[in-house]
Chains A and B, each alone.
Chain A
Amino acid sequence: DGGITQSPKYLFRKEGQNVTLSCEQNLNHDAMYWYRQDPGQGLRLIYYSQIVNDFQKGDIAEGYSVSREKKESFPLTVTSAQKNPTAFYLCASSMDRGDEQYFGPGTRLTVT
């Protein structure tokens, strides 16, 4: 089955700790994205990557970091510098930039 997976579904962390969210796709898509969704709000772009070993900051990149060492994988690290990390994080991929995106099931991160 082709698709995009995220793990874990739920993640709890103490303030001050870095945490890495996993995103993997087997759709052979070039472009991958990370979004953050807060209650009652739309999706806001954190980072995106059009090809391996290249990524760009989105609208709210501060306090986050990413890597794209493989086409299939685009992990997101939420660092201790992120002021309000508690949110729902969605990963997406598309064949090419601007194309329809396929979303993973999301990771709900809670930091206390």
Chain B
Amino acid sequence: EDKVVQSPLSLVVHEGDTVTLNCSYEVTNFRSLLWYKQEKKAPTFLFMLTSSGIEKKSGRLSSILDKKELFSILNITATQTGDSAVYLCAVPTNYGQNFVFGPGTRLSVLP
């Protein structure tokens, strides 16, 4: 059975801290891994990773994939209160027809 696991499930930090969110997966016919940010309602897309070892970066957020060890990390540096959200990891399965989501990591950034 295809599975995506995220850790930690919940994290509380103070502004300025750096955080690392983890996502591990077990899926057949792996193609890519996606990260989303969900603040109140609709998840918004952050990154899609397909190649191992190549970092994707957007401002203070960055992510990298390790296809050998079957995991990805999402780093957020110099966190701000606006980074408070649930961060979801997702992997397409069944040749991209289906998506399996992890449970998410709820990040709370305190002022």
Asked if residues B101 and A42 are in contact (CB atoms below 8 Å), the reply is yes
Q: Is the interface of A mostly helix, strand, loop or mixed?
A: loop
**Interface size class of chain B, counting residues whose CB lies under 8 Å from the partner chain:** 20 to 34
Asked if residues A97 and B95 are in contact (CB atoms below 8 Å), the reply is yes
Number of A residues with CB within 8 Å of any CB on chain B: 25
A91-111 with Cβ < 8 A to chain B? 96-106
Partner of B88, one of A43, A50, A59, A105: A43
Nearest B residue to A40 via CB reads B103
Residues of B within 8 A of A45 (CB): 98-100
CB of A84 within 8 Å of the partner chain: no
Nearest A residue to B46 via CB reads A100
Asked if residues A98 and B101 are in contact (CB atoms below 8 Å), the reply is no
Asked if residues B97 and A97 are in contact (CB atoms below 8 Å), the reply is yes
Complex-state Cα separation, A87 to B4, whole angstroms: 21
CB of B68 within 8 Å of the partner chain: no
CB of A77 within 8 Å of the partner chain: no
- Contact string against B for A residues 35-46, beta-carbon threshold 8 Å, 1 for contact and 0 otherwise: 100001111110
Minimum Cβ distance to chain B for residue A101 (Å):
7
Asked if residues A98 and B44 are in contact (CB atoms below 8 Å), the reply is no
Asked if residues B31 and A98 are in contact (CB atoms below 8 Å), the reply is yes
CB of A58 within 8 Å of the partner chain: yes
Complex-state Cα separation, A3 to B105, whole angstroms: 26
Asked if residues B45 and A100 are in contact (CB atoms below 8 Å), the reply is yes
Asked if residues A42 and B88 are in contact (CB atoms below 8 Å), the reply is yes
Asked if residues B42 and A103 are in contact (CB atoms below 8 Å), the reply is yes
Asked if residues A103 and B96 are in contact (CB atoms below 8 Å), the reply is no
Complex-state Cα separation, A40 to B44, whole angstroms: 18
B80-104 with Cβ < 8 A to chain A? 88, 90, 92, 95-104
CB of A33 within 8 Å of the partner chain: yes
- B residues near A (Cβ < 8 Å) are 4, 6, 31-32, 34, 41-45, 48, 88, 90, 92, 95-104
What are 8 A-B contacts with C-beta separation under 8 Å?
Answer: A42-B6, A42-B104, A45-B98, A45-B99, A97-B97, A98-B92, A100-B34, A105-B42
Nearest first, the 6 A-B pairs at minimum CB distance are A98-B96, A97-B96, A42-B101, A103-B42, A98-B92, A43-B101
